[in-house]
Amino acid sequence: MKPKLTIVKIGGNVIDDPEMLQTVLKEFGQLDGAKLLVHGGGKIASDISKRLKIPTQMVDGRRVTDATTLEVVTMVYGGLVNKNIIALLQSLGTDAIGLTGADANTITAHKRAVKEVDYGFVGDIDVANINTKKLSFLINGGLVPVFCALTHDKQGQLLNTNADTMASSLAIALSGEYDTELIYCFEKNGVLLDVEDDNSLIRELTYLHFQQLKDDGVIHQGMIPKLDNAFLAKRHNVGVTVKHALNLTSPIGTSLL
């Protein structure tokens, strides 16, 4: 029987709320078995870009990353956000280690090809090249990896990488060695029929239903890449749930079928 591994992804709105972040990190640390955390930080990066008078461009919920924006997200994701999370986890008794994909060559990626949109220095992960041996070494050694949304191309170039994609890719890669569960946590109860109504939770979501809701415009913007990645992991036999960050250890949420 494979050992259990829970991968949790938290987003910018959770990180922006100190009380919510403290609660979710405390519950994360109490999860049974091995665990791994992936975080974004997009809102903080956007706020700092605004203060520095650097324009932010988003397309379908994904950040366009020019050279200057890459400097900002590297400082924010790999520095400010990641190290604050590590310090909080240590204060809560979780022995965590902060990582980018460049650290220990854990996650390599390639610069996204230009099609309809030039996303700039954005990386697409090659799942087969994720260094599961190094990650297992850290996990089995009792450490909790905490990844920010940065990878590298092995040619010295850092790449901004969607955190939802990173979480899904890690879950798929590590599913060969672990019984892997992926939980996407954010500020809503899960996938909602009406984003303004927290009671419109969809408890179980199939891929066909997701496609219908996307075509109807019910699911849009940042939820599209999140659920695209969630269903990709599901197709690789990873258990996937989307839920409110404060319900991390609760059954309330959207389970993917």
- For the residues 115-123, what does the mean pLDDT come to? 91
For 79, the domain range is 4-256
For 98, 157, 171, 180, the CA distances from 166, given in Å and listed in that order, are: 15, 17, 9, 14
Is 51 labeled as ligand-binding? no
- For the residues 194-213, what does the mean pLDDT come to? 93
Rounded to the nearest 5 degrees, what angle is found at the Cα of 167, between the Cα atoms of 155 and 140?
85
- Phi first, then psi: give them for residue 146, nearest 5 degrees: -125, 105
pLDDT band at residue 64 using 50, 70 and 90 as cut-offs: confident
Residue 67: the pLDDT is 94
Is 160 labeled as ligand-binding? yes
pLDDT band at residue 61 using 50, 70 and 90 as cut-offs: low
- For the residues 45-73, what does the mean pLDDT come to? 86
Residue 117: the pLDDT is 87
Is 41 labeled as ligand-binding? yes
- The pLDDT of residue 115 is above 90: no
- Phi first, then psi: give them for residue 57, nearest 5 degrees: -120, 125
How many domains in the chain?
1
User: Which CATH number characterizes residue 80's domain?
Assistant: 3.40.1160.10
- The pLDDT of residue 222 is above 90: no
Is 247 labeled as ligand-binding? no
